[in-house]
Amino acid sequence: MGDSKKQVSFLTRALEIQEKHYGKDSYEIAFTLFHLANASGEIGDFEKMKNLLTRSLQIVEKHHEEKPVGLILSRLAIAFKSTGDFKKQIDVLSRALKISEKDLGIDHPKTGEILVKLGIAWRHLGNYEKQNDFFFRAFKINEKCSGKAHPETIKLKEILEISLYEYWKKSEYHCSSKTSEQYSPKFVNPSMIKPQRVASSSRSTFEVSRWI
C-alpha cells in the first residue's frame, strides 16, 4: 500500500509536467494516465481509476491507436466492477471480447477469460441465462485448448454445473413438469446439469465466488 501511494504521488507529478509540455490530449500522456489509474486502484480509489482510464481510452481512440484499447478496456472493466456498475462493466467487456476475437481468435484462452468475466457480470445483474451461455463458451474453449483433464477445465465445468443448477432452481420451470431440455440456456447440453454435484448451497456460493 505504501509503495502504491508513492507511485500515485510520483505519477501525479509526472502527469502535471507532461500535460504542460505536451498538452492534455496528447498521446504521450495516455500511458501515464493508464499507470496512474492502476496505482489508484491498488490503493482502493476505484472512482479515480475509472476516470483516469476513461480519459486514457478517449485519448487513445482520438489518435486512432487500436493496440492499447483492449488492455485499457480490461482494466476499466475492473474499475466498473469495483464500483458496482455492472452494466458498464458488461459494455467494456463486450468491446474487449470483440477485440480479442478479432486479434487472437474466438477459441483463444484470453477470449475465454473475458467470457468468464462477462458471465460473472451478468450474474451480478441476475441474468442467469446469459451467465450460463458465457460460462459454457468459456468452458468449451478451455476444453479445446487445454484438454478435458486440465484443472482449469475441470474447475470451470464444475462452476458451470453449479450455475446451471442455480438457474434451474430459480427458474419458473423448476415448479413445472418441463424437462431440463426445455429450460436449459442455448448452447448448453442438459446432461451437464447434475444436482447431486451441488447438494450444499454453501459449496455453490464458494465455488462461484472463486471466479469473482
Contact 52, 17 (CB under 8 A): no
Pairwise CA distance, residues 84 & 121, whole Å? 10
pLDDT of res. 43: 95
pLDDT of res. 172: 55
Pairwise CA distance, residues 132 & 163, whole Å? 7
Pairwise CA distance, residues 100 & 55, whole Å? 22
pLDDT of res. 2: 61
Type of residue at 82: S
The tens place of each residue's pLDDT in the chain, 212 residues long, gives 568 899 999 999 999 999 999 999 999 899 999 999 999 999 999 999 999 999 999 999 998 878 899 999 999 999 999 999 999 999 999 999 999 999 999 999 999 999 999 999 999 998 988 999 999 999 999 999 999 999 989 988 888 888 888 787 776 554 444 444 444 444 445 455 444 444 343 333 333 333 33
Grid cell, residue 7, equals 507511485
